[in-house]
Structure 1
């Protein structure tokens, strides 16, 4: 059985690549590690943290996930549109995982800022997902 955060990463990548609104903005440019050179705008999978929270009859926990959106268009509108499309695709989505059960996935916050290069706009999207492992 795979870890919930690894299964979530695969499911999120697949969902974003299949989402018509996201695809209209970035095509299928959803990466774990972007290629060099990269075409803007795009999304990267960021950090994940799994916190186990077992109960007497349930094995599960909470995964905190970070996604990043990137743009080099002037200003913040493009990176915000991409971030909003990502959030709309994932917030409260019914996502099926291969071996774990996703109870919920929720958007917590989005931060938008200019990177130190002065050219790249960057949005950081924080999500939290609750999962449990099926009982035998």
Structure 2
């Protein structure tokens, strides 16, 4: 049996890589594990959480996922442009999953902050997905 959160992760990465607005800023720099020599700006996958959300006749999951944006450009503008492109690429988008059915994918919140190093800007973008299992 496949893992719905892994299927969702693959579909989200594919959607981000195929978004012209995302690609225009980060190219294909979308990472699960960020390489030590990564060029800024880039997007990384953050933590996720999977909760059972079944009903009497339906087996489902609620998946919370985090996407992180990293930039070293001055100030927040680049970080916010990338975060906006990520939201536009994923909010309410219909993604095909191999074995599960994505019922919804919704943007929950975006937080923009400065990293401790004083140079890097960071956006934390959170989404919630409802998935029905076979």
- Do both share a fold (TM > 0.5)? yes
Whole-Å separation in 2 of the counterparts to 1:66 and 1:9: 10
For the residues of structure 2 that align with 1:3 and 1:37, how far apart are their CA atoms? 30
How far did residue 8 of structure 1 move?
A: 0.8
Q: CA deviation at 1:54?
A: 1.3
- Equivalent pairs counted in the alignment come to 134
- 2:95 aligned counterpart, secondary structure: coil
SS at 1:89's partner residue? helix
| CA RMSD of superposed structures (Å) | 0.7
TM-score (norm 1): 0.96
Question: How far apart in 1 are the matches of 2:42 and 2:2?
Answer: 27
Measured in 2, the distance between the counterparts of 1:118 and 1:93 equals 35
> Quick one: distance in 2 between partners of 1:88 and 1:112?
17
Q: Residue 72 of structure 1 aligns with which residue?
A: 72
| Structure 2: runs of 5+ lacking an equivalent | none
Question: Which residue number corresponds to residue 53 of structure 2?
Answer: 53
Give the unaligned 5+ runs of structure 1: none
TM-score (norm 2): 0.98
